[in-house]
């Protein structure tokens, strides 16, 4: 279970102190949780802290019993490798690797044998509907296809948590819907999927929506009873 | 602490435990690096060329020292008498005006049995011309009745007589060929002294092919002295060269007795000094090559900041990124080093073709020792050039690298 405890992040922007996340507490249950808010509300900073890309000024992020900020950079990397998957809005794929190799990359980091990881990567690409595109480099794939490769890669090591930061931001409506369906499918399978978006309509597909404003969690909205859990903050 | 940190940076595959897995991953990482280099072909090729040229120039510069060592060794192995007696302070390969007095030569002959000497062949050397081998002539004056085969037993006669008469000369094969000398032709030793070619030797593949062997008296007359340049001394059975050399030194003042290994040692000292000078010059090219690699790899790091950020976000450790960048520089260094070695070898072959044609000697040699040294330098160059970019890349903050601030 991923948990934010009294999370506070302040950083310097020129001469001004900016509070990006302001004493936020929330326990993320299984299922899809959308984080919404206007630009500058702290969505991306929250994701950075939850994923261990950055450390909070105060408070902590816990994965089970492990406080992320107590870990070294390398230990946080290892924790991400084993427990988290990522789909970003852009810069999602390694440009010199094929789609198949991109999916297999985390498995290489996890020392999974070449044969096994190639087979698993091919199966994942098949699952996201990109089986025949495995040998293509990212620049030969459309935006939607790249996002689907990123989803396949995020699932490579079967992590319990998926982060998606504006995953449909650059996509047309058909591609966006397809990507969203894949994320929902992961949520239905019991993963914790955290979707950061400014698109409220997209967020409505999630089990619950966290509304952020000026770094503060102002409202938790339960949308669907299917995967909803008790909200606490 | 620093050593631990550096070692930590160097141990790139820290998540792996089994050696086979390390090798397998190493191969894949190399493939990843190769893809990255191929993605920027022109820059990679130009960088590679920089290393190739700097390594090749180092190989060629240092090959002259190696060639000289080999040539000297080969020359000395063809000399019959095992000890050379020279005036004190004169080295075998830098004879100046003849200073070995005839009385010393006589004393050597008189003490021959007790010093373990089997034969004494005094000789006098006169050089004419300059550095251009086409116009340079070396006359070696030998005692009456003695031919060049007494000094160089491997020499064989092609035509004529092996021992020069009172106004005759026996010439080395390459010199005869270069100057179109045939039996009966006249050679001018000085404005007043001319000698007739009486014998031509077969090629021997050394300096002796470029020498004109004449009577010592003629050279001494031309120089206006009765002195000799040196005396070659044979060793009697039951004695070693070193024993005889020591005995001569102990008995006679004002001379230096050198065995072939002494001569080789002096030569080695001189060659080593010139090696250092030549390495110093080639170091400039190496430093430029190293900076070229460092610049390319650093540029590559800045261009790929997001890629490294993504890798870190996906779970790559700092050591993985460090190794990836360092190996890229290393790969450039090793491949550039190998190609530079091949180019250096080719250039060395070209030099040898030229010097072989001119003086009959291979003056350049790319030995195993030199090849290993050049590759080692290329590897160290790659490591040094890649270290800073690798450290920079491995210490990037994920949020900054991904532009997620």
**Same structural domain, B161 and B249:** yes
Element (H, E) at B243: helix B241-251
Q: Which residue has the tokens 């404003």?
A: A213
Rounded to a whole number of angstroms, the distance from the CA of B36 to the nearest CA of chain A is 6
Element (H, E) at B260: helix B260-303
Per the domain annotation, does B261 fall within a domain?
no
A11 to B405: CB separation less than 8 angstroms, yes or no: yes
Rounded to the nearest angstrom, the gap between the alpha carbon of residue B159 and the centroid of all alpha carbons in its chain is 35
Per the domain annotation, does B126 fall within a domain?
yes
Q: Which two tokens stand for residue B354?
A: 């030229």
Q: What is the pLDDT of residues B60-87, one digit of tens each?
A: 988 988 888 887 777 777 776 778 888 8
Per the domain annotation, does A136 fall within a domain?
yes
**CA separation for the pair B145, B166 (Å, rounded):** 9
Helices and strands (H and E) in chain A: how many: 7, 10
A74 to B315: CB separation less than 8 angstroms, yes or no: no
Instruction: Nearest by CB to B399, from A48, A81, A110: name it.
Output: A48
Q: Which two tokens stand for residue A20?
A: 């990006």
Per the domain annotation, does A227 fall within a domain?
no
**Same structural domain, B113 and B239:** yes
Q: What is the pLDDT of residues A84-113, one digit of tens each?
A: 999 988 778 998 889 999 999 999 999 888
Per the domain annotation, does B239 fall within a domain?
yes
Burial B9-34, CB ≥16 within 10 A → b, else e? beebbebbeeeebeebbeeebeebbe
Q: Give the number of domains in chain A.
A: 1
Question: Residue B197 belongs to what domain range?
Answer: 89-253
Residues making up chain A, counted from first to last:
233
**Same structural domain, B249 and B396:** no
Q: What is the pLDDT of residues A169-193, one digit of tens each?
A: 877 788 788 888 888 988 998 999 9
Rounded to a whole number of angstroms, the distance from the CA of A231 to the nearest CA of chain B is 27
End residue of a domain, out of B201, B228, B253:
B253
Phi then psi dihedrals of residue B249, to 5 deg: -60, -40
Per-residue pLDDT tens listing for chain B (405 residues)? 445 544 444 443 344 445 555 566 677 788 888 888 888 888 888 888 888 988 999 999 889 888 888 877 777 777 767 788 888 877 665 556 788 899 988 988 888 888 888 889 999 988 877 656 666 788 999 999 888 888 888 888 899 999 999 889 999 988 888 888 889 998 887 778 888 999 999 987 777 788 899 999 999 988 889 999 988 888 888 888 888 889 898 888 888 888 888 877 877 887 888 888 888 888 888 888 888 888 888 888 888 889 999 999 999 999 999 988 898 888 888 999 999 999 999 999 999 898 877 777 788 899 999 999 989 988 888 888 889 999 999 998 888 888 755
Identify which has the larger pLDDT, B84 or A77: A77
B315 to A91: CB separation less than 8 angstroms, yes or no: no
Q: Which two tokens stand for residue B129?
A: 């011309």
Q: Which two tokens stand for residue B373?
A: 């040294």
Q: Give the number of domains in chain B.
A: 2
Quote the percentage of chain A above a pLDDT of 90.
Answer: 56
Pairing state between β A2-13 and A58-63: antiparallel
**Same structural domain, B189 and B274:** no
Measured between beta carbons, which residues in chain A are less than 8 angstroms from residue B320? 109
Q: Which residue has the tokens 């065995």?
A: B259
Confidence of residue A194 (pLDDT cuts 50, 70, 90): very high
Rounded to a whole number of angstroms, the distance from the CA of B5 to the nearest CA of chain A is 13
**What local confidence, expressed as pLDDT, does residue B44 receive?**
86
Pick from B38, B306, B313 the residue to mutate for testing the A interface (most A CBs within 10 Å): B313
Note whether A110 contacts B: Cβ–Cβ < 8 A.
yes
Per the domain annotation, does B7 fall within a domain?
no
Please name which of B190, B148, B152, B191 lies closest in space to residue B169, comparing C-alpha atoms.
B148
Q: What is the pLDDT of residues A150-172, one digit of tens each?
A: 999 999 998 999 999 988 887 77
A88 to B402: CB separation less than 8 angstroms, yes or no: yes
Residue A5 near residue A59, CB atoms below 8 Å: yes
CA angle A27, A110, B7 (to 5 degrees): 105
Note whether A73 contacts B: Cβ–Cβ < 8 A.
yes
Please name which of B145, B148, B144 lies closest in space to residue B173, comparing C-alpha atoms.
B148
**CA separation for the pair B170, B208 (Å, rounded):** 11
Q: What is the mean pLDDT of residues A49-55?
A: 94
Q: Pseudo-torsion of CA A39, A45, A50, A56, nearest 10°?
A: -150
Per the domain annotation, does B307 fall within a domain?
yes
End residue of a domain, out of B253, B286, B302:
B253
**CA separation for the pair B295, B286 (Å, rounded):** 14
CB atoms within 10 A of CB B145: 10
Q: Which residue has the tokens 């006669």?
A: B157
B312 to A78: CB separation less than 8 angstroms, yes or no: no
Instruction: Nearest by CB to B25, from A53, A73, A108: name it.
Output: A108
Per the domain annotation, does B226 fall within a domain?
yes
Element (H, E) at A179: helix A173-188
**Same structural domain, B126 and B180:** yes
Residues making up chain B, counted from first to last:
405
What average pLDDT does chain A have?
Answer: 88
B315 to A82: CB separation less than 8 angstroms, yes or no: yes
């Amino acid at each position: 279970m991923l948990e934010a405890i009294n999370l506070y992040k302040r950083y310097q922007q020129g001469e001004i102190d900016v509070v990006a996340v302001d004493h936020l507490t929330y326990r993320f249950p299984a299922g899809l949780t959308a984080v919404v808010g206007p630009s500058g509300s702290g969505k991306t900073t929250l994701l950075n802290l939850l994923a261990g890309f950055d450390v909070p000024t105060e408070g902590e992020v816990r994965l089970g019993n492990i406080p992320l900020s107590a870990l070294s950079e390398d230990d946080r990397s290892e924790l991400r490798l084993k427990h988290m998957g990522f789909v970003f809005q852009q810069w999602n794929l390694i440009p010199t690797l094929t789609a198949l190799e991109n999916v297999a990359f985390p498995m290489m980091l996890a020392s999974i044998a070449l044969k096994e990881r190639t087979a698993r990567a091919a199966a994942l690409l098949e699952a996201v509907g990109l089986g025949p595109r495995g040998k293509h480099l990212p620049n030969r794939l459309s935006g939607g296809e790249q996002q689907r490769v990123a989803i396949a890669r995020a699932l490579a090591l079967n992590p319990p948590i998926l982060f998606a930061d504006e995953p449909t931001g650059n996509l047309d409506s058909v591609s966006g819907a397809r990507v969203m369906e894949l994320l929902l499918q992961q949520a239905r399978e019991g993963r914790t999927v955290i979707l950061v978006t400014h698109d409220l309509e997209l967020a409505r597909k999630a089990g619950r929506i966290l509304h952020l404003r000026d770094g503060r969690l102002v409202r938790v909205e339960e949308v669907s009873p299917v995967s909803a859990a008790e909200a606490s903050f | 602490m620093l050593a631990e940190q550096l070692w930590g940076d160097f141990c790139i595959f820290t998540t792996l435990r089994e050696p086979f897995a390390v090798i397998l991953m190493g191969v894949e990482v190399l493939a990843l690096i190769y893809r990255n280099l191929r993605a920027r072909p022109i820059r990679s090729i130009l960088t590679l060329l920089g290393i190739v040229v700097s390594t090749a120039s180092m190989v060629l510069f240092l090959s002259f020292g190696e060639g000289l060592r080999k040539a000297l060794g080969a020359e000395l192995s063809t000399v019959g008498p095992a000890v050379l007696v020279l005036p004190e302070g004169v080295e075998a390969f830098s004879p100046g005006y003849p200073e070995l007095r005839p009385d010393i030569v006589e004393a050597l002959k008189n003490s021959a049995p007790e010093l373990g000497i089997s034969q004494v062949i005094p000789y006098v050397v006169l050089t004419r011309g300059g550095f251009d081998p086409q116009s340079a002539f070396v006359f070696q004056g030998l005692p009456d009745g003695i031919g060049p085969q007494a000094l160089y037993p491997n020499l064989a006669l092609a035509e004529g007589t092996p021992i020069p008469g009172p106004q005759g000369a026996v010439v080395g094969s390459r010199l005869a060929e270069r100057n179109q000398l045939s039996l009966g032709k006249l050679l001018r030793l000085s404005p007043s002294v001319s000698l007739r070619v009486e014998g031509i030797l077969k090629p021997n593949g050394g300096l002796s092919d470029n020498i004109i062997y004449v009577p010592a008296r003629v050279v001494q007359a031309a120089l206006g002295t009765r002195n000799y340049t040196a005396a070659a001394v044979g060793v009697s059975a039951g004695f070693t060269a070193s024993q005889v050399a020591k005995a001569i030194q102990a008995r006679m003042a004002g001379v230096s007795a050198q065995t072939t290994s002494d001569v080789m040692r002096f030569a080695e000292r001189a060659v080593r000094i010139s090696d250092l000078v030549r390495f110093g010059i080639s170091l400039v090219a190496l430093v430029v090559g190293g900076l070229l690699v460092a610049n390319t790899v650093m540029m590559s790091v800045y261009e790929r900041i997001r890629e490294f950020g993504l890798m870190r976000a996906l779970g790559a450790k700092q050591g993985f990124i460090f190794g990836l960048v360092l190996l890229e520089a290393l790969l450039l260094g090793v491949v550039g080093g190998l190609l530079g070695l091949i180019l250096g070898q080719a250039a060395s072959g070209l030099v040898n073709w030229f010097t072989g044609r001119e003086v009959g000697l291979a003056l350049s040699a790319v030995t195993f020792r030199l090849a290993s040294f050049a590759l080692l330098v290329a590897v160290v160059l790659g490591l040094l050039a890649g270290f800073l970019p690798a450290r920079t890349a491995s210490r990037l903050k994920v949020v900054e690298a991904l532009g997620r601030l």
